[in-house]
Chains A and B, each alone.
Chain A
Amino acid sequence: MNTVLGLLGGLFLIAGAAFLLFGGLGLVRMPDVFNRIQAGTKATTLGTLFSLAGAACLQPEWTLKLMLIGLFILFTNPISSQVLARAAHRSHAEKSALTAVDRLEDDQGA
C-alpha cells in the first residue's frame, strides 16, 4: 500500500516536473511575450499542482498545507499573468509577425 502510494507520488512529481519543463521550453521557443506568458502560466500552474499532489502522496500528513499552496497558486498565477500581459500590451511590447488580428489595439485606437 505504502509503496503504491509512494510510486504514485513519484510519478506525479515527474509529471509535474515535465510540465514545468514544457513551460520553460515554451518560454524560450515562443516568438513573442504574449505567447511566452501563455505557455508559462498554464504549464507552471499544472506542473506545480502535480508536484504538490506528488508531495501529498509521499507525505500524506502534509496534505492540508500543500492544498493551501495549490489553491493560492491556482488563484494568483493567472492574475499575475493577466496583469503582466496587459502591461506588456500597454507598453507596446513587440508582437510576433504571425499575429493575425489585434482587436484590443483597434479599440484603443478608435
Chain B
Amino acid sequence: MVEFLIYIAAMLVGLAFLLALYRFFKGPSAADRVAAFDVLTIITITVIVLVALVEGRAIYLDVALIYALLSFLGVIVVARYLERGL
C-alpha cells in the first residue's frame, strides 16, 4: 500500500519535472531558464528522497543535502552573473 503511494508521488513529481523542463528549454529569457533550473534542482531533492525510501538507504539523504547546497550556490552565482558579470 505504502509502496503504491510512493509510486503515485513519484509519478506526480516526474510530471512536475517535465513541466519545469519545458520552461527550461523554452526560456525565453536567461532568468526564466535559471528559475526553471532552480525548480528542477529542488524537485530533484524530492526525487532523491523518494529513491532513498524505495531503496531503504539513508546514505542518499547526504547526497540530497549536498545537492541542495551546491544548487543553491549555483543559482546565486548565475543570478549574480546575470546582474553584472562575474
B contact residues around A10 at 8 Å (CB): 1-2, 4-6, 9
B: interface residue count bin: 35 or more
Number of interface residues of A (CB under 8 A): 55
Known: A10-B1, A25-B19, A86-B83. A65 touches B65 (CB 8 A): yes
Could you jot down 30 A-B contacts, CB within 8 Å?
A9-B2, A10-B1, A10-B6, A14-B9, A16-B46, A17-B10, A17-B13, A17-B16, A20-B43, A25-B16, A27-B36, A27-B39, A33-B32, A36-B23, A40-B39, A41-B38, A47-B42, A51-B13, A59-B58, A62-B61, A65-B62, A69-B45, A69-B49, A72-B65, A80-B75, A83-B76, A84-B75, A88-B82, A91-B30, A93-B29
Interface residues of A (CB under 8 A from B): 3, 6-7, 9-11, 13-14, 16-18, 20-21, 23-25, 27-28, 33, 36-37, 40-41, 44-45, 47-48, 51-52, 54-55, 58-59, 61-62, 65-66, 68-69, 72-73, 76-77, 79-81, 83-84, 86-88, 90-91, 93-94
